[in-house]
């Protein structure tokens, strides 16, 4: 697997981007039909919860496009070292970022909460390369080599990486300093999430970001970096979540549902909801 990653990393630096994207999508088609049927079937099952009115043919078309988009997401992650302050806006267009900068200027700790939708890695790069002192919470891999592989690429874009085992302590420190914390708020990897109804199904949703913001008086901004029809990524910053409300978690879930319905082929969940 390490050798495979070294090969694709090398190719990402050699092949022209349009050619690399074409190759990536063909690999995704191969995986869709052969080696990753389990993930395909789980994705189809999940998207049926989102669109119960759609027919089988339309659902499978969405699933195939979802596989292609995810393959491009992996390729784009390898391009992180090529993104810098000078060319940042060639790749992404922000919407609502001014209000986030205002919160930072006021010295308020800001939590950017997103989900496995679109390209959250590039979204984080946008923040750090735009001048935000950003710490991201990441899931560690079993292999130390992979931990370093992913960490180094994130750090080339100026973000600081903290893994789950250190997340609680470091998150508090970052927010108390008035800096920015970015985390994914859709999958409960720690087993400490709270139950909520997501597309009609009871699931555990991480509540740590909301609880941190409530405890420390930080601002929690839902944000999503999605690819639009113009082929570019657009980073959307939603109004801050009112974490003082008892139904703040449910409101976060409703926001996620809205984005999944709008960008279903960019929702990357390859296991049953």
The yes-or-no verdict on residue 119 having pLDDT over 90 is: yes
Average pLDDT over residues 214-222: 97
Higher pLDDT, residue 28 or 122: 122
Overall pTM surpassing 0.85 (yes/no): yes
Q: How would residue 5 be classed by pLDDT, with cut points 50, 70 and 90?
A: low
For 25-42, b where at least 16 C-beta lie within 10 A, e where not — what string?
bebbeebbeeebeebbeb
* Nearest Cα residue to 24 out of 79, 83, 74: 74
* Nearest Cα residue to 29 out of 41, 40, 16, 17: 40
Q: How would residue 6 be classed by pLDDT, with cut points 50, 70 and 90?
A: low
The residues, ordered by sequence, that sit 6+ positions from 176 with a Cβ below 8 Å of its Cβ are 109, 216
Q: How would residue 261 be classed by pLDDT, with cut points 50, 70 and 90?
A: very high
Paired strand residues for 219 = 110
């Amino acid at each position: 697997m390490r050798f495979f990653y070294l090969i694709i990393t090398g190719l990402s630096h050699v092949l022209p981007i349009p050619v690399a994207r074409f190759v990536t999508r063909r690999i995704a088609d191969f995986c869709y039909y052969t080696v990753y049927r389990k993930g395909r079937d789980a994705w189809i099952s999940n998207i049926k919860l989102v669109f119960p009115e759609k027919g089988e043919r339309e659902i499978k078309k969405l699933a195939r496009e979802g596989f292609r988009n995810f393959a491009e997401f992996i390729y784009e992650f390898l391009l992180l070292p090529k993104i810098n302050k000078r060319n940042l806006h060639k790749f992404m267009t922000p919407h609502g970022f001014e209000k986030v900068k205002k919160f930072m200027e006021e010295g308020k700790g800001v939590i950017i909460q997103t989900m496995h939708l679109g390209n959250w890695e590039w979204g984080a790069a946008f923040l750090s390369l735009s001048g935000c002192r950003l710490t991201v919470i990441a899931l560690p891999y079993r292999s130390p080599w992979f931990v370093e592989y992913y960490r180094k690429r994130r750090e080339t874009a100026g973000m600081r990486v903290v893994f789950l085992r250190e997340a609680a302590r470091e998150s508090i420190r970052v927010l108390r300093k008035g800096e920015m914390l970015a985390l994914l708020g859709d999958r409960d990897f720690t087993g400490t999430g709270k139950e909520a109804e997501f597309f009609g199904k009871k699931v555990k949703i991480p509540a740590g970001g909301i609880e941190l913001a409530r405890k420390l008086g930080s601002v929690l901004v839902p944000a999503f970096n999605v690819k639009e029809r113009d082929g570019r990524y657009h980073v959307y910053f939603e109004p801050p979540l009112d974490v003082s409300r008892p139904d703040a978690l449910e409101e976060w879930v409703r926001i996620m549902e809205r984005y999944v319905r709008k960008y279903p082929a960019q929702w990357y969940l390859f296991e049953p909801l």
